[in-house]
Structure 1
């Protein structure tokens, strides 16, 4: 499983372990997964602990770590911009809106904030809940995962600007969809499904746009030497779901129905965490401990 970085490999399996509902639909493939992924670039962000990466453009990435400074880099590793959080607290998560603005969650102040030029404006302030992870949707809305102040409840909330439009918390049987008190990275799929990497529950949880559970994915034995450890999630133009498996140092690729397709075994990648895909389906993976973001071509 381990080897030089140049020998990146994808391994193929035929079955995943999922629960589906009839609403799940398939999408024809337009691009194929490469047999041999290619490492395109490695960007040193100089964070001691890197946890977030998100694409501003195909050639520029915003990054966040255990630091109150958020940094914008080009793919040559040049620092283009840095901005300190308004509260001077570490940002829990970052995302780029459809209009190109940087947003970040601040669990300590219970706010979602947006960067406008050199200024940071408070967009959302919560009461009784703290925002954890965030993503921007194709329609320009925001999806935010959040935990209650007592860490006993968790939900996903959709916002249009500062207005709450939807809350997703329970399945059809009244059971919580998500665990509380830990990371719940979120991404909207191309087919508008909402995908959450629920780290405490060790599952990828996918609901349709109405909030109805479609499936839960809990890992695949071929990829897992240790238990499945989903820490981040993203999706691509083919409606494929990619999730970082931190403890196993690999990335699982699922189709939109939750079927395990392959995993990317990035041999020299250790402690992967943040994840995003650009408009050309290049994958960006943030390494926690080295502070590097690695750009990988996988399709």
Structure 2
């Protein structure tokens, strides 16, 4: 049969519309996982902007595009700044409690966790999109396909897990390894979370002093517990982000530096000469600039490292 006639009668499928299953993980099409232009690491990263947020203690930062950042600290107020440090808008939690964490969706809307809820700030309207029972949400990230990954702890502080939500409906739970052991420590401390470009889920587990990386399926890939040169203070991963090169960046609060790893957990180098002071939350913008939330100075620092 003529191929054109066959296509006209039956239609055709583009290879780009087909997902392939491999080891239980959905793999993106060849085009989706094609390598971006290589951006080598700078020998000397550069501090290019500093934003004073006015918090007593700063916890998280999340980028909108390349010129705006949302921030949250130990107050019930979340603030949006431009790179010149101008306050553009601020909102506060309806509960009156301090938000646990913030994230920005692909559309540029703000997501934050608060008490027993996950909330969305969109078109200047605030709404609760997820309400939990028996668990408290801690940290949150928005994935490449607009799912939400939420870290949470049980009310008795004995269990810890990650839940994936699609359209605010629970889709996946990640809690144990293949031997039934907990993947993450059970404590109330922050466990910042992000998705890597290869769909790995990366968590900075402070209590365990480790970066824990699992596949899309939830299967453990590796744990990174610091570099042998961490002799002054043990590795204290207090924030995490990934870039377009699938590199993993984790802040090391006690040692005032950032660890850069490849996607397989191999140490590449530090960022440590940019006047960093107790770095916590991290985010990377669309041009691979790094934004660092400093806990004690309450400053956001923009760093060019590629």
Match of 1:152 among 145, 158, 164: 158
Matched, 1:113 2:119: yes
Contact residue 252 and residue 278 of structure 2 kept, 8 A: no
Q: Which runs of 4+ in 1 moved over 4 A?
A: 26-29
* In 1, Cα distance between equivalents of 2:94 and 2:199: 32
Match of 2:61 among 46, 53, 63: 53
Contact residue 93 and residue 132 of structure 1 kept, 8 A: yes
Structure 1 residue 224: Cα displacement: 4.5
* In 2, Cα distance between equivalents of 1:267 and 1:116: 34
Matched, 1:290 2:297: yes
Structure 1 residue 211: Cα displacement: 0.4
Larger RCO (CA within 8 A; separation ≥ 6): 1
Match of 1:226 among 225, 233, 244: 233
Contact residue 283 and residue 292 of structure 2 kept, 8 A: yes
Q: Which has the larger radius of gyration?
A: 2
- Stretches of structure 1 lacking an aligned partner (at least 5 in a row): 1-20
Contact residue 249 and residue 266 of structure 1 kept, 8 A: no
Partner of 2:42: 34
Contact residue 59 and residue 73 of structure 2 kept, 8 A: yes
Contact residue 46 and residue 274 of structure 2 kept, 8 A: no
**TM-score normalised over the length of structure 1:** 0.89
Match of 1:89 among 97, 101, 104: 97
Cα distance, 1:267–1:116 mapped onto 2, change above 3 Å: closer
* In 1, Cα distance between equivalents of 2:112 and 2:97: 11
Match of 2:215 among 195, 202, 208: 208
* In 2, Cα distance between equivalents of 1:32 and 1:98: 26
Partner of 1:184: 191
Partner of 1:256: 263
Contact residue 151 and residue 191 of structure 2 kept, 8 A: yes
Number of matched pairs: 275
